Amino acid sequence: MTRYLVRRLLGMIPLLIGISFLVYALLNLVPGSPTDRFQFNPSIKPADRERIKHQMGLDEPWYKRYFVWVEHVAQGDLGTSFTNYSPVSYRLKQALPNTLVLSFSSLIFALVLSIPIGIYGAIHRNSIFDRVSTIISTAFFSVPTIWLGLLLIILFSVKFKEWGMPWLPSGGVRNLRGGSNTWDYIKHLILPVFTLGSVQLAVWMRYIRSSMLDVIRQDYIRTAQAKGLHERTVLMAHAFRNAVLPLVTLVGLTIPELFGGALIVENVFGYPGIGQLTIDSLNTNDYSVAMACVMIFAVLTVLDNLIADILYGAIDPRVRYD
Amino acid sequence: MAQQSDVANQTLAQAGEQALPAERGALDRSKLVSTPGYYRRAWRRLRKDKIAMVALGLAIFILLFSFGAPVVSMLTGHSFDVGDYSKVLAPVGTPGYPFGTDSNGRDILTRLAYGGRVSMMVSCLTVVFALTAGATIGSVAGYYGGLIDSILMRLVDVIISIPGITLLLLISVWWRPGPVGLSVVIAALGWTGVSRLIRGEVLSLKNRDYIDAARVSGASNARIIFRHIFPNVLSIVTVWVSLALPAYILTEATLSYLGFGVRIPVPSWGNMLNEAKDFYATSWTYVFFPGFAIYLASLAFNLLGNGLRDALDPRLNE
């Protein structure tokens, strides 16, 4: 196990180097530079712009700068932002917790709802509950995240307020006028979490239902029932564990998608996370911040694949690492 | 299905018996009953699937509506780019504007058709590009194996490990493309999934006996790939296409919504939604329609894809 872990962790290094090289190349081959924002500033002459470029080191070829970047990152220095000269690590520290809270709340929301609904639907197959949940899952499967988010804002923030009902805030992480507390924080999370989680909820619900249906037809379930075990013991101890097994891999593979979705949801709800930071930094050619954001996404993705593999082994004793 | 082919065989046998006395050895070809082929049987299965048929109808309607945009424009009497500033944000059902108007007084229905044309074109082209690249790379990797396979699959690993949307944003910053360019950009990432799919299938096919037989009889590598392997990969490719199409509709919409996709004078469902989002407090229908169009298109193709998967996999039914 330890050997496997070490090998996998070592294998991540070339992969991450490959990704960073590709992303750095793409970013820097983009026409435009962080000094573009001085272009229409009458008090900054073209010569000054060249000077600023030189001071930032942007007149060096990009592949030379890449090695400088790698050297610095290896020493734990992510660089400074090209637009407001604050340390990149500081900007990440502000944004990353928000994104993590948003994504993992959505993950938990989707899991907590999808597992019982899926299992109940499989056990009571073709019941009204099963049919309704299947229809809802089919309907939510194709919903565009952006549209869902906007419709929720229209309903819960605009219309509910018009109708004089308790309404939810349309964006941000907390009430900027003060009076911010935990409930206020949660109130700001409800709509984004629902928006981000609902697609996964639909997919997982359907997945658990069908994998549970597969499992309860197996012989060993009949054996367990024939032994006279409690129906609940059979379902929870024998069926559930095997039905959830494939879900672990699926959840692992979906987490990167969740981060991608978080980027969109953050944009719709004006939620100040990594996704919003990525879009802003790309729009302003802020190479160092953009690089850090994309690499964070990449590291999370790669780590997450590893965790999914390890969890899979922990749940299924048949899997052996060597 | 098994019953049907039994019936067919019986008829064949009867035809043979009747032909025998007259002319030994020669069959009366007019009495031959051909058994339906794989795709005909798949179509029969699909036709029985009500949801898939409704989805197919909806998909055809959306395609006609989108690619018939000029006709829609003629019928509504409005163009997609010229607005009437005396009728800004008109509600649904305003005479002459069944879906109302947008913030520039343009007819939403007409713009939906033109936006759909761009969105559907981008997603269809993306499928074509991604499939061409993915099929080539996947079959080369699977067929030749060895070093080529390792290099290509590591490349796939790298691309898959970068969250798609960030890389797409990166490329779109670099190159603010038109509809065709945008589909090249999306396809530049989209080929990885289908290449893995095809590689796996080719790997399992290439060691079958009939491939060896073809090689022994002197078929070239290209001939084996195109004549013997490709037809067997076709059904998973069909399913992939119908499921990739809705995914790309959503991708295009997302990119255009974030302002990195199709640029504003050209309407697409995504950038219509982007324009509409600032008016969510004043006119909810303006936000509703473009998103609903994306939703309907993606739902229709997803359901059709599910139906196709069931229909093309005979093991499920026989």
The CATH number given to whatever domain includes residue A101 is 1.10.3720.10
Closest residue to A150, CB basis, from B161, B246, B287: B287
Residue B129 confidence (pLDDT) above 90:
yes
Low-confidence ranges of chain A (pLDDT < 70): 178-180, 317-322
In a domain, A304, yes or no: yes
Q: How far apart are CA A127 and CA A124, in angstroms?
A: 6
CATH number of the structural domain spanning residue B91: 1.10.3720.10
Residues of B in Cβ contact (< 8 Å) with A141: 299, 302
ipTM metric = 0.79
Closest CA to B251 of B218, B292, B298, B215: B298
This prediction has a pTM of 0.80
Q: For residue A54, what pLDDT is reported?
A: 79
Specify which residues B107 forms β-bridges with: B101
Q: For residue A108, what pLDDT is reported?
A: 92
- Tell me the pLDDT tens digit for each residue of B258-317: 877 777 677 888 888 888 888 877 778 888 888 898 999 989 988 888 888 888 775 554
- Tell me the pLDDT tens digit for each residue of B147-197: 888 888 888 877 777 667 777 777 777 666 678 888 888 888 888 888 888
Arithmetic mean of pLDDT, B116-120: 87
In a domain, A206, yes or no: yes
**Residue B142 sits in the same domain as residue B13:** no
Q: How far apart are CA A303 and CA B163, in angstroms?
A: 13
In a domain, A167, yes or no: yes
Q: How far apart are CA A20 and CA A29, in angstroms?
A: 14
CA distance B299 to chain A (A): 5
Are the beta carbons of B294 and A139 separated by less than 8 Å?
A: no
CA distance B15 to chain A (A): 45
Number of domains forming the structure of chain B: 2
Quickly state the pLDDT bin for B8 (edges 50, 70, 90).
Answer: very low
| Structural domain of B20 | 1-35
**Residue B204 sits in the same domain as residue B255:** yes
Q: What is the DSSP string of A26-80?
A: HHHHSS--GGGGGTT-TTS-HHHHHHHHHHHTTTS-HHHHHHHHHHHHHTT---B
Residue type, B226: F
Are the beta carbons of A298 and B162 separated by less than 8 Å?
A: yes
In a domain, A36, yes or no: yes
Sorted by sequence, the CB contacts under 8 Å of residue B301 that are 6+ apart come out as B55, B59, B242, B243, B245, B246, B249
Residues of A in Cβ contact (< 8 Å) with B299: 138-139, 141-142
Number of domains forming the structure of chain A: 2
Q: What is the DSSP string of A21-33?
A: HHHHHHHHHSS--
In a domain, B316, yes or no: no
**Residue B12 sits in the same domain as residue B105:** no
**Residue B17 sits in the same domain as residue B78:** no
Q: How far apart are CA A140 and CA A201, in angstroms?
A: 8
CA distance B55 to chain A (A): 12
| Structural domain of A37 | 2-74
DSSP B218: T
DSSP B85: T
